[in-house]
Amino acid sequence: MTGNESRVAIVTGGSRGIGRAVAERLAADGQSVVIVYAGNEAEAGKAVAAIEAAGGNAAAVRADVADETAVRAAFDLAEQRYGGVDVVVNAAGVMPLAPIAELDLDELDRVHRTNIRGTFVVDQQAARRIRPGGAIINFSTSVTRLNLPTYAAYAASKAAVEAISPILAKELRGRDITVNAVAPGPTATALFLDGKDEATVERMSKMNPMERLGRPEDIAEVVSSLAGPARWINGQTIYVNGGAA
């Protein structure tokens, strides 16, 4: 890849929330972005339109991140349209909340499929196809440290992501590819806010000494660094939570 060619990023879960903020930030950084979305075509279209309106390049493709055939097709699209893949961001995730004693085990299986298998499948394609100088950024959560009740299934799935990431970093030895995980704290997205009353949101916003919820843009800033200039950070989990944990 010459210096004149744009880097190319694939962002799963890129149609809404933190994923969309990441997609927009990487596009603003000059990267061509392929947004992978699970089912909301309208939101994916809005994300692509916002990037293009700001002068960036973007495309969207529907894929279940746990389906290796669909994920392979998303990588194919990125290579065919933009010439290759340099950055992969795994922002897709689901977060059903319930005490361990009450969680429907079908929900546990859904969390496992999307958050663990999905990350693994996307990382597998990234490991095979990403270009030298590239970066893989997985998503964990600060709940792995905060140990909040009702978050057991979600935190367990993200602890698996934290295990996968540094192992993949070592497996890619010699290829100039970094692999890190980003672990947000409470962040003002639909994924976090849905189902919480105002008192709960207020209490959780005070968990960090900054005394506010994170913004998707706060997380995107860290991903932007890991996706570009921060080449000496590798095999790490970066907690992005304003000091909550």
Strand 8-12: give its sheet, edge to edge.
58-62, 32-37, 8-12, 87-90, 135-139, 178-184, 237-240
Q: ∠129-94-108 over CA atoms, to 5°?
A: 105
Residue pair 169/178 in contact by the 8 Å Cβ criterion: yes
Distance in angstroms (rounded) separating the CA atoms of residues 106 and 85: 34
Residues in the chain: 245
Tokens encoding 152:
């057991």
Distance in angstroms (rounded) separating the CA atoms of residues 212 and 189: 13
Distance in angstroms (rounded) separating the CA atoms of residues 195 and 173: 43
* Catalytic-residue membership of 82: no
Distance in angstroms (rounded) separating the CA atoms of residues 90 and 46: 20
Query: In sequence order, which residues have a C-beta less than 8 Å from that of residue 233 and are 6 or more positions away?
Result: 178, 180, 226
Distance in angstroms (rounded) separating the CA atoms of residues 218 and 190: 16
- Alpha-carbon distances of 84 from 136, 203, 219, 229, rounded to whole Å: 14, 44, 25, 19
Q: Which residues are catalytic?
A: 154
